[in-house]
Structure 1
Amino acid sequence: MPSIKNKISYYYDSEVGTSYYAPNHPMKPHRLSMTHSLVLAYRLHENLDVFRPRKATTSELAQFHAEDYVDFLSKITPNTQHEYLTQMQRFNLGEDCPIFDGLFDFCKIYSGGSIEGAVRINHGTSDIAINWSGGLHHAKKSEASGFCYINDIVLATLELLKYHARVLYIDIDIHHGDGVEEAFYLTDRVMTVSFHKFGDLFFPGTGDLGDIGMNNGKYYSVNVPLHDGMDDQNFIDIFKSTMQKVMEVFQPGAIILQCGADSLAADRLGCFNLTLQGHASCVAFMKSFNIPLLVLGGGGYIKSNVARCWANETATLLGRTLDENIPEHEFYYEYYSDASYQLKVQQKNPIENLNSCSYLQDIKTCILNNLSQLEVAPSVQMHELPPEAFIPELDDSALNEDELSRNIIKNMAVNEMESRDRE
C-alpha cells in the first residue's frame, strides 16, 4: 500500500525563544530557539510549510478565558506589578507563573500558532500542524498555573469543534493535563486522555484513575496514572492499548497531541525513564491513523533534550529517521555536548521502575472496561458555524530559508542572558 504524503504546517516565531521567565526558573522558552535551530540543521524545514503565527487577539483568548483575566494579562508588566498585588493573588501569578517582559505577547504568539494550526486543519490545507511553542495545558479559565498563562490547547480545540463533531486530546507530558480536562469534563464532544505521573503530591495532584468525566462527559475523560521510573516498553504498551480502544469507540474527526518532553529520562522535574525513541513512538502511532493532527509542545526542563525530542518528532511526522550524530550548526551546537553530540538522552542513574506488571494490567483493564461503556461514537447535531478565525495566505506568511536563518540570528542575545542557567 503506498504511503500517504501529508501536508504539514509548522509554526515558529523567533520572539518566543527570547522570552525569559525569571532567573533560575525551570521554564526556559529558549528551548524553542534551540528546537528550531535543530530542525534547520537537519534540513527538515525543506519539507514543511513554515509559518510565522499571527498573534491571537484578546477576543480569541476570551473564547475560553475570563475577560477580566485576559485584560489583567494585557496590562501588567514587571514595572507595574506592585500595583496589582490583589489581582496577582486572585489570578495565581507569582513564583511559578511570574510576570516578565513581553508576557502577553508571548501568550498571544504561542496561542496564535495553535489556533492557526487548527484553522488550517479545518480548511484541509494541512493534514498535520506543529506548534512546539504551544501545549500549555495547566492554564484555567481565570487562573495561571504550572508555568501556563493561556490554555492554547482549549482554544485550538474550540476551533476544531467548529468543523468536527468529536475532537480527541492526548497528553504525554509527565504532568496531568488538568486545564484541558477541566474545560471539557462535562461534554462528550471532546475526549481527553492523559498519561502522567500520579501520587506523592506530584503536581498538579489531579488525574486519578477514577476521574472519568461527569454528566454527558462520563467516560470521556481518560486518566492513566503512573508511578516513577516508567520505561519505554511499558509506556508504549499501555499507550497503544488505550489509544487503539479510544480510536475505535470515539472515532474523532481531529486529534490534538501534546508532547511534553518532561516525560523523558533525566528531566529536571520528571521521574520517568523514556528515551527519545519511546516518546516518538506515541507520535508515530497516532500519525498512523491518518486523522488530522495538531501536535504541540508542553513541559521539558533540560533544554538540549527538549530540542532533541521535538526535532526528532518533527522528523517522525515527516516519516524521516534522523542521523544519530547531530549536525554541526551555528549558535547552539555546543549545548549537545552533554550526550557527546548524539541524538539521545543521557541518563546517568535510571530511576527504579515502580510500575509493576500487575499494577499496569489493573489500570489497563479498568480503562478498557470504562471505554467499553461507550458503545458508539456520540452523534452531534451541527449548528451554524461560529465566525472563522483568520487563515493567512501562504505567500504572505510562509518563511523562506533566508528568513528562517535571520530569525535564528535574532535569538543570539538570549545566549548571554541565559549563560548562568545553561545545562
Structure 2
Amino acid sequence: MLSDTIAAISTALGEAAISVVRVSGPQALRVAEKAFKLPANFAPRLAHLVHAVDANGNSFDHGLLLHFKSPASYTGEDVIEFHGHGGVLVTQRVLERLLACGARAAEPGEFTQRAFLNGKMDLTQAEAVMDLIHAQSTLALRAANEQLGGAIGREATAMQQEIIPVLAHIEAFIDFPEEDISPETGADLLKRIDSVLLRAEKLIATSEQGRILRHGARTVISGAPNVGKSSLLNVLLGFERAIVSPTAGTTRDTIEEIIQVHGIPLRLVDTAGLRESDDDIERVGIQRTERELDRADLVIEVVDASQTAEAVQRLTLPDSIANRRILVLNKADLGIHSSWSAESHALPFSCVTGKGIEPLREAIRAIIANAGPLAADHPVAINARHKAAFERSAERLRAGRAALERNEAPEFIALEIREALQALGDVIGQVDVERILDVIFSTFCIGK
C-alpha cells in the first residue's frame, strides 16, 4: 500500500476562500510536475505560485504549491499540497488532474494511517487527530491536544518499561529451573506489578470522562407537560430550537442539541411530558422519554413552582441516576409556592426572565465533574478501545500476581505477564496492529 501515491481534497466540501488538495507518496513530486507548471527554482518547504494545467497545458487554476520532502512531512513521505481557489468545481478538477497524472484516490484516514505506519505518531496520537477535529468543547479540545502530544502513549510505554524487567526475571527462572524465586525477589516483582496496576486503574477511571468529553454528557430535560421543558432548552441554547406552546403535549419526540457549559459538552435532550395519554403519537413520545431517562448522564427535572409541591407529578428515577438529578423550579417569575421550601437543593428559575441560568450551569458542572476528574489536574481521558486494552492488561497482571504469590511454575506467570504486555502494546499499536487499523482509520474523513 505504501508504494502507491495518493491524493485527496483535505478541506471540507463547499465554497471557501481556498481549498487544499494533498498528495503523498514516492511519486508525489513527479505527479506535481505533470499537473502544475513548476518554476525553475521550485524547492521544498517554500510556497510557490503555480498554475494547475490540463493535459493540453492550459491553465485552469492558480495558487500556492508546497513540497514537504520525506521524512519531514505529516505522513513521513514526499507530500505535495496545492492551496487553490475554494470552489467546488475547480477543486474537484484539480484532484481529477492529479489522479490522471498517476496518483490514486486516498481512502478515509489514509494520510494519518501512513503517518502511523511510517513512525510519525503512535496509534493513540493517530486517534487524537479525529478527536481534535470533532472536539465540541474547550476541555475536549484540551484532552485531544494532550493525546495528540503523546500523553497516553507515553503512559502505556512507561508501563511496558516497568513490566519488561518483571518478565525478564521470570524468564530467567525458566532458564534456570533449579533456582526458586526467593522471597526478596518475589516481593520486588510484586511491588513492580502493583505499581503498574495502580497506573492502569487510574487511566481506566478516566474512561467515563473520555466518553463525556468526546460525545457529551447526555442531559435529559424531563417533567410533566407544560412545565417549560422546551422553553428551558431554548434558554440554554440561546435560540428558539423547540416549539413552545401553552397546549400540553406539543413536544411529541425527543429533540437533541449540543452546548458547552464550563468547557463540558452537554447533549441536551428535550422530551415529551410524562403523563397518561390516549394519543398514540404522544404515547410513543412518552416511551422515548422513559428510554432517554434510562440512559441519561444527568436529568434536569422541571416543575411548575407556582403550583403546590403535592400537586406536581414528580419523576421516579432508577438508583443509578437518582443522585444526578437537578430539580428546576420553573416559572419563578409567577412566585414560588411555599410548599417547595423543603426542597433545599432546588433551583429557582424563570424561562421568561432567564433568572437562575448561572446557578443552573454551575449545578450541571458540579454533577458532571463527579463522573470523573474533569479539572485541569488530569488531562488524560482514554477512549473505549484504550479502556478495553488497559482492563485486559490489568486482568492479566492480577492473574500473574496471584500466580507469583502462590509460587506457581514460572512458565504460567510469564504467560500472564506477556499477555499484559501485549495488551499495552495494543494501546500504542505495537502488537497485532493489522486487526485494529481498519476499524480506527475507517472513521476518518477523506483527505485526513
- TM-score over 0.5 (shorter chain): no
Instruction: Judging by fraction of residues, say which structure has more helix.
Output: 2
The TM-score by the shorter chain falls in which range?
under 0.3
**Taking structure 1 as the reference length, what is the TM-score of the superposition?**
0.21
Instruction: Judging by fraction of residues, say which structure has more strand.
Output: 2
Give the number of the structure with larger relative contact order, counting CA–CA contacts within 8 Å between residues 6 or more apart: 1
Pick the structure with greater CA Rg.
2
